[in-house]
Amino acid sequence: MSIVISLYDYTGVAVIPWAKAGHTCYCYDIQHDDTRVDHFSSGGSIHYLNADLHSYETLCALLNHFEREEVVFAMGFPVCTDLAVSGAAWFKSKAEKDPQFQSKAVNYATMCADLFTEIGVPFYIENPVSVLATQWRKPDYRFHPFEYGGYIKAGQEVHPLYSEYIADSDAYSKRTCLWTGGDFKMPKVKPVLCESFGYSTQHAKLGGKSLKTKNIRSATPRGFAEAVYQANRREP
């Protein structure tokens, strides 16, 4: 059984191409309750599992569980609230409450990379433009969602979960950074016309601190998910 792991993943969008191809995918996030499983006609599946990924013990348990399994790909989307430069205006007040707030957030990201490296699998860690570039290392790659919108098939342009918020065919800009390892292959771009480069109209709908908007903002662009699968795919 070939396995794909995704950490800090609420929506599961990132692993859908892998599940459709027959892989067993595990999405871990603190919001899951261990009850949901999506099955695909290919025999693949997505298991949504609860996990406190800020816990070192949790990461150790995942290593013990997967290090002898046939894991073919992994990805992580650590919480960017305390990392993204778009929130820099609040860094000072956060530091007054907890001087270690940012080093903790950086550590959560590097723990994902350490886990995937120990398992020995191609992987990427995703974040928007953030302090990871200075407090960890510079990203290996950067992209905008519209650059991969061409991977979305005709007739599937409308987002199945968030059509009210996300532009058809991921035709929006959002500078996104990747820290990669394990022979990860960056896919070739297949861009669509961007609605307005440098400014996305959907951002006006996704402000605030609600969990819903955070989940939507962090959802992996569908085109990029498909492109990553095609560039790094393995037979299940």
pLDDT digits (tens, 9 = 90+) for 174-206: 899 999 999 999 999 999 998 766 555 655 555
- Specify burial of residue 129 (Cβ count, 10 A radius: 0-12, 13-18, 19+): middle
- 82: pLDDT confidence band, cut at 50, 70 and 90? low
- 22: pLDDT confidence band, cut at 50, 70 and 90? very high
Contact 18, 25 (CB under 8 A): yes
| Residue 96: pLDDT over 80 | no
Q: What is the pLDDT of residue 206?
A: 53
- 235: pLDDT confidence band, cut at 50, 70 and 90? confident
Strands 123-128 and 176-181: antiparallel
- Specify burial of residue 150 (Cβ count, 10 A radius: 0-12, 13-18, 19+): middle
Extents of the domains making up the chain: 2-227
- Specify burial of residue 137 (Cβ count, 10 A radius: 0-12, 13-18, 19+): exposed
Mean pLDDT along residues 33-54 = 97
- DSSP assignment, residue 203? G
- Distance spanning both ends of the chain, measured CA to CA: 7
Report the C-alpha dihedral over residues 160, 161, 165, 167, rounded to 10 degrees. -30
What values do phi and psi take at 3, rounded to 5?
-125, 145
Mean pLDDT along residues 112-126 = 97
Contact 155, 109 (CB under 8 A): no
Contact 223, 14 (CB under 8 A): no
Q: What is the pLDDT of residue 170?
A: 94
Whole-Å CA distances, 136 to 58, 76, 105, 131, 139: 22, 15, 11, 8, 9
Residue located via tokens 């191409």: 17
What number does CATH give the domain 2-227?
3.40.50
> pTM to 2 decimals?
0.91
Whole-angstrom distance, CA of residue 73 vs CA of residue 229: 9
What pLDDT digit, counting tens, does each position of 46-55 carry? 999 999 999 9
- 98: pLDDT confidence band, cut at 50, 70 and 90? low
Q: DSSP of 70-98, one letter per residue?
A: EEEEEEE----TTTBGGGGGGHHHHHHH-
Mean pLDDT along residues 139-161 = 96
